[in-house]
Structure 1
Amino acid sequence: MTPNTRRILTALLLSACATGAAAEEAIRPEQAVRFAGQSGMVCGKVEKTRYAQNSEGSPTFLHMGGAFPRHTFSARIPQDQRDKFRPSPEELEGRDVCVVGSIQRDAGRAEIAVRSPSDVKLATIK
Structure 2
Amino acid sequence: MPHLFRFISALGIALFLTTFANAETIAPREAAQNIGSYETVEGVVSQVSKSRGGTTFINFGGRFPNHVFYAVIFKKYAHKFQSLDGLVGKSVAISGTIDLYKGKPQIVLFSPDQIVQR
TM-score (normalised: structure 1): 0.72
Q: 2:78 aligns with which of 82, 94, 98?
A: 82
Provide the residue aligned with 1:61 in structure 2. 57
Deviation at 1:83, TM superposition (A): 3.1
Q: Deviations over 1:91-112 (max 9, x none)?
A: 1111110000000011221100
Identity of aligned residues (%): 30
Structure with greater helix share of residues: 2
Q: 1:96 aligns with which of 88, 91, 99?
A: 91
Provide the residue aligned with 1:122 in structure 2. 117
Q: Who wins on radius of gyration, i.e. which is larger?
A: 2
TM-score (normalised: structure 2): 0.77
In 1, Cα distance between equivalents of 2:28 and 2:84: 18
SS of equivalent to 2:80 = coil
Query: Quick one: which amino acid aligns to residue 38 of structure 1?
Result: S
Runs of at least 5 residues in structure 2 that lack an aligned partner in the other structure = 1-18
Query: Quick one: which amino acid aligns to residue 106 of structure 1?
Result: Y
Provide the residue aligned with 1:51 in structure 2. 50
Higher RCO (CA-CA < 8 Å; seq separation 6+) = 1
RMSD: 1.4
Aligned residues: 99
Deviation at 1:53, TM superposition (A): 2.5
